[in-house]
Amino acid sequence: MAGKESLLPRNVGIIMDGNGRWAKRRLMPRSFGHDAGMKRIIKLVECARGIGIKYLTLYALSTENLSRPKEELEGLYALFLRYFEEYAPKLVNEDVAIRIIGDLSALPQNVADKMREVCARSKKDAPFHLIFAVNYGSRAEIVRAANFAAELGGKVTEESFSRFLYTYGVPDPDLIIRTGGELRLSNFLLWQSAYSELYFTDTLFPDFDDKQFKKALKEFSRRNRRFGKV
């Protein structure tokens, strides 16, 4: 049984997979699934805040996703823009800190600028942190950090190295959930997930409701986290 203090994960990462299949089952275009995914994000953020989780890290776009058809990417960028225009400012006003990890330079300028602007207005000491991984790839993040460390010179420690990661200052994810049935991490938080508990579900992301989220948290609370000790 986990220690009492660790019954609730501090940081939950979610690999939000299955939007495309969800739409296909309804004979709808993939963009319909992403739209439903965004609606699910809005609900899950409220749920996580209500429960008392401090950090929610959502994998919104991987570096590999950038090779998807132009039409799908444009739809996703439009959705990011809508979220950062219509929803994110309200959250920031309610003391939610929003942060992006990943390389925004590949996104259309207006979308990247809007995201940066909203993030810049976030307070650092907020009670709830919402982190979007956008054009994010863990290997690219680690190589980027290695280059920073090489430029600086000197001996590298785990602690000093992790300061060069996008996630500097963010606790490692205690729990990583992947929806959509695949059993892999797909280049998500590889350094940070060294001791994360993993939870996989066949549920497609748009169907991953509060009840299922709470089920994953309950399963987490039952895990015996030993961190390599006996």
Residue 107 CB neighbour total at 10 angstroms: 23
Contact 9, 176 (CB under 8 A): no
Q: Which of 10, 21, 144, 223 binds ligand FPP (CB under 6 A)?
A: 21
Q: Name residues contacting ligand FPP, limited to 67-96 (CB under 6 A).
A: 79-80, 83
The distance of closest approach from Cβ of residue 59 to ligand FPP in the complex, given in angstroms and rounded to an integer, is 7
Q: What's the rounded Cα separation, in Å, for the pair 18 and 215?
A: 19
- Give me the amino acid identity at 31: S
Residue 154's region, left for phi above 0, alpha for psi from -120 to 50, else beta, is left
Site string for ligand FPP, 157-186 (x = CB under 6 A): -----------------------x------
- Residue 97 forms beta bridges with which residues? 129
Question: Largest Cα–Cα distance in the chain?
Answer: 57
Name which of 173, 211, 215 is nearest 194 in CA terms.
Answer: 173
Catalytic-role residue among 11, 17, 103, 174 = 17
Contact 25, 138 (CB under 8 A): no
Contact 130, 91 (CB under 8 A): yes
Query: Which residue, 83 or 188, is less far from ligand FPP as judged by CB?
Result: 83
Query: Which residue, 38 or 145, is less far from ligand FPP as judged by CB?
Result: 38
Query: Which residue, 169 or 181, is less far from ligand FPP as judged by CB?
Result: 181
Residue 17 known to be catalytic? yes
Q: Which of 53, 60, 96, 131 binds ligand FPP (CB under 6 A)?
A: 60
Contact 14, 44 (CB under 8 A): yes
Residue 13 is a binding residue for ligand FPP (CB under 6 A): no
Query: Which residue, 72 or 219, is less far from ligand FPP as judged by CB?
Result: 72
Residue 18 is a binding residue for ligand FPP (CB under 6 A): yes
Residue 17 is a binding residue for ligand FPP (CB under 6 A): yes
**What is the contact surface with ligand FPP in residues (CB under 6 A)?**
16-21, 30, 34, 37-38, 41, 60-61, 65, 79-80, 83, 132, 180, 205
